[in-house]
Amino acid sequence: MTTTNFTVDTDSDGIALVTWDMPGKSMNVFTQAVLEELDGIVDRVVADADIKGVVFTSGKASFSGGADLTMIKSMFDLMEEEKRTNPDNAQKLLFDMVGRMSGLFRKIETCGKPWVSAINGVCMGGAFELSLACHGRVAADSPAVKMGLPEVKVGIFPGAGGTQRVPRLANAQDALQMMTTGSTLTPQRAKAMGLIHEIAEPKKLVSAAKAMIKGGLKAVAPWDEKGFKLPGGLIWSAQGAQLWPAASAIYRRETQNNYPAAAAILKSVFEGLQVPIDTGLRIEQRYFSHILQTSEARSMIRSLFVSMQEINKGARRPEGIKPTKFRKVGVVGAGFMGASIAYVTAKAGIPVVLIDRDLDAAGKGKAHSEDLVKKDIQKGKTTREDGDKLLSLITPSADYADIAEADLVIEAVFEDRDVKKAVTEAVEAEIRQTAVFASNTSTLPITGLAKNSKRPKNFIGIHFFSPVDKMMLTEIILGRKTSDKALATAMDFVAAIKKTPIVVNDTRGFFVNRCVLRYMNESYNMLVEGVPPAMIENAAKMAGMPVGPLALNDEVAIDLSLKIIRASIADLGEGAVDPRHLELIERMVEKEGRLGRKNGKGFYDYPAKPAKKHLWPELKTLYPQQDADKVDVKELQNRFLACIALEAARTMEEGIVTDPREADLGTILGFGFAPYTGGALSYIDSMGADVFLAMCKGLARKYGRQFRAPKLLIDMAAKGETFYGRFNPHAETKTAA
């Protein structure tokens, strides 16, 4: 047979080396064509008496990223089409499509000849499930080798045998933790769990795999042999009685029951381990078919996989502009933010000059990178050699002349217009006319800052989020005169440092901060209403937020909130701010001296370790408290999600954000908006604009104008539209005839 994605070479020992190497792809992924070719290879192996066994490996630096999730999305689309033409067969069609990959892997497992997976590089999702179906597994001893089943992170779960094979190889507790968190395993951890057999030197990987076959590897999976015992003990045993109630409780605590896929993992493992493997695989297939049809799966796959890939590949980058190869980047301001920006720049292999008022201050900025590198070496995330190379790319300086040849300069100085004006003038006195100047500002409009520039076309905003080395989002803000060239350069830089960019038109607070402020402001409203502080925090977490709004405000700093409130009053008038909010935050900062985590006192108290932070006991005395039993917790959850989603809708109406993909990714990556929803606009789309509007009308009557819907949303509800329909990012551009 002829194959496009695989090569098959059989040696003199009768061992076939099947190499997966998809043409034109940087990484192997499962597609329908790949599955068909692999199915044919299995038939060929079985039919050829000269083939004694198979070593399966990758011809690329990585093994495989797993299934192409657009293929999974197409399954649902096919089912929806079948519903229209043959509704009685739609569910069966989806069930059969879901079982295709699992059936193929079981076919490998029971083909009668030994298969060994030789894992080089990243081996995730369906690729790892394929490896688990092989009779032997060898992984290369390299930091580049990572294994795992991360599907739960995009709203689905390991549906090609993962929930059945992992707990038959590892104890059930480790298996559940691995799959419900989507954690990544090193070769050493995978071997300790019993998921792989050997770790080999990278150059000897294939020979080690062949040696397993030559050594008499059985072509039978352990669970297909008589007398097989589960490594973690039976479900109905003393071990099981300890594990399963605790597992269910942990699931509830960690997910608030917002993630159906995580629940499906528990159910698949619990039910599947009580029956033979083939029945277990059918159970898994049934749950996977159900999960694919949930709004959570569809929304998460769209936002966290499809949209993420499209945006990261430059979906919003202007066409026809040559990519920038950065020879040097300048960062002005060696405080925490500037130092962190310098670190991620150097980590991307780009030389960076870190400027501050004097060499000592700039050196302290580089010391931040030294600390990060030291921690990574201690954790085994990098080598000393690579760490030294990174640090050699950072040059501390107090001389603006050192950034004269920079392609991009980012200022990260104090949020003060006068300070930023002085820096802009000093930088532009040195850099080339073609260089781009970017302001890392979180609140000040870019158009106003660009008035200090002699080259406003090359002036742009790049808003980083703290901590820069961990937060994956950046906002790229366009001033009124920002050119496409400046935008392309900024996007090339963000791509180089491996962040996800969203493009935002200029406004106060841009996009993410506008949404975050609504979240924190609603917590102020609840405090004033007398909702117990613990209920405020817990309701937010139950709604799917990773951090309660009061804890988040402590991280941001309460005195910064006060500055923002006062700046809003100064610029927009007293009507722009709820006076109750001003009174609350003034009291916290000026009377109580509670600034947030930075001074150990905010809405929470931060005692010395090992004690944990806790809500400030006096917080509940600031306002008369409601009876907790009479507070509608679900309504609190709705208030938090609705106030954020409404603000996201307003930014679409105002043209601040123009692409729903960016709004959704911005809310999730920027501050963790309930990821199971797929983002703030997907939250509205999944519910339906009419249903969402009705909920907001009820909230507005009870709690105020912050829940009034914009005209855009009212129009969408009347027309039955969605954001992804009205602002379809994939719509073909129509040209006039």
Residue 76 pLDDT level (bands cut at 50, 70, 90): confident
* Least reliable range by pLDDT among 65-74, 387-396, 496-505, 617-626: 65-74
Alpha-carbon radius of gyration of the chain: 28
Nearest to 648 by CA among 625, 619, 676, 679: 679
Confidence band for 466, pLDDT divided at 50, 70 and 90: confident
What is the structure's pLDDT at 501?
Answer: 97
For 243, how many CA atoms within 13 A lie in the half-sphere containing its CB?
A: 20
Which residue type does 226 have?
K
Strand-by-strand arrangement of the 53-58 sheet: 6-10, 15-20, 53-58, 115-119, 136-140, 198-200
The per-residue pLDDT for 509 is 81
Q: Which residue has the tokens 């047979």?
A: 1
The answer, yes or no, to whether residue 321 has pLDDT greater than 60, is yes
- Taking the C-alpha atoms of residue 530 and residue 227, their distance in angstroms, rounded to an integer, is 62
Per-residue pLDDT at 595 exceeds 60: yes
The pLDDT of 36-51, averaged and rounded, is: 96
**How confident is the model at residue 97, as a pLDDT?**
87
Contact 576, 568 (CB under 8 A): yes
71 within 8 A of 19, measured Cβ to Cβ: no
Contact yes or no for 446/418 (Cβ under 8 A): no
**Amino acid at residue number 18:** V
Residue 564, Ramachandran bin (φ over 0: left; ψ between -120 and 50: alpha; else beta): alpha
Copy the structure tokens of residue 276.
């033979």
| pLDDT interval class at 77 (50, 70, 90) | confident
pLDDT at 203 over 80: yes
- Which tokens sit at 102? 């699992």
pLDDT digits (tens, 9 = 90+) for 648-662: 999 999 999 999 999
Q: Average pLDDT, stretch 140-153?
A: 94
Partners of 505 in beta bridges: 478
Q: Residue 87 has what pLDDT?
A: 84
Q: Which stretch of DSSP H or E encloses residue 8?
A: strand 6-10
Q: Is the pLDDT of residue 734 over 70?
A: no
Check whether 735 has a pLDDT greater than 70.
no
* CA 533 – CA 539 distance, rounded (Å): 10
- For the chain, what percentages of helix, strand and coil (3-state, to nearest 5) are there? 55, 10, 35
For 495-510, the pLDDT digits (tens) are 999 999 999 999 888 8
Q: Could you tell me which residues come within 8 angstroms of residue 392 by beta carbon, excluding any fewer than 6 positions away?
A: none
Residue 187 and residue 210: Cα distance in Å, rounded? 19
The stretch 261-269 carries a mean pLDDT of 97
In angstroms, the CA 210 to CA 189 distance is 23
pLDDT, residue 732, reads: 57
557: exposed, middle or buried (C-beta count within 10 Å: 0-12, 13-18, 19+)?
middle
d(CA 526, CA 54): 63
Asked whether 453 and 475 are in contact (CB, 8 A), the reply is: no
For residue 171, the one-letter residue type is: N
- Per-residue pLDDT reduced to its tens digit, 217-236: 999 999 999 999 999 889 99
- Taking the CB of residue 373, how many other CB atoms lie within 10 A of it? 22
Six-digit token string for 288: 């996977």
Within 10 angstroms of residue 617's Cβ, the number of other Cβ atoms is 9
DSSP assignment string, 523-541: HHHHHHHT--HHHHHHHHH
Say if CB 537 and CB 547 are below 8 A apart: no
DSSP bridge partners of 475: 463, 502
Mean of pLDDT values over 72-93: 82
pLDDT of residue 233: 87
Mean pLDDT, to the nearest integer, of 207-215?
96
Residue 288 has pLDDT above 50, yes or no: yes
User: In the predicted model, is pLDDT for residue 668 greater than 80?
Assistant: yes
Per-residue pLDDT tens over the stretch 404-433: 999 999 999 988 889 999 999 999 999 999
What is the set of domains in the chain, with CATH numbers?
6-293 (3.90.226.10), 329-504 (3.40.50.720), 513-725 (1.10.1040.50)
Write the single-letter amino acid at 38: L
Say how many C-beta atoms besides its own lie within 10 A of residue 605's C-beta.
Answer: 18
More confidently predicted of 84 and 44? 44
Q: Render pLDDT for 533-545 as a digit per residue (tens, 0 to 9).
A: 999 999 999 999 9
Q: 362 near 398, Cβ under 8 Å?
A: yes
Residue 80 has pLDDT above 90, yes or no: no
Q: Which residues pair with 53 in a beta bridge?
A: 15
- CA–CA gap between residue 467 and residue 460 (Å, rounded): 21
pLDDT at 85 over 70: yes
Catalytic residues: 463
- Residue 733 pLDDT > 50, yes or no? no
Average pLDDT estimate for 557-578: 90
Output the pLDDT for position 67.
83
Alpha carbon distance 583, 560 (integer Å): 15
Q: Whose CA is closest to 251, among 261, 236, 237?
A: 261
Mean pLDDT of all residues in the chain?
94
For residues 541 and 548, the answer to whether their CB atoms sit within 8 Å is yes
Q: Which two tokens stand for residue 554?
A: 């402590």
Residues 546-564, mean pLDDT to the nearest whole number:
94
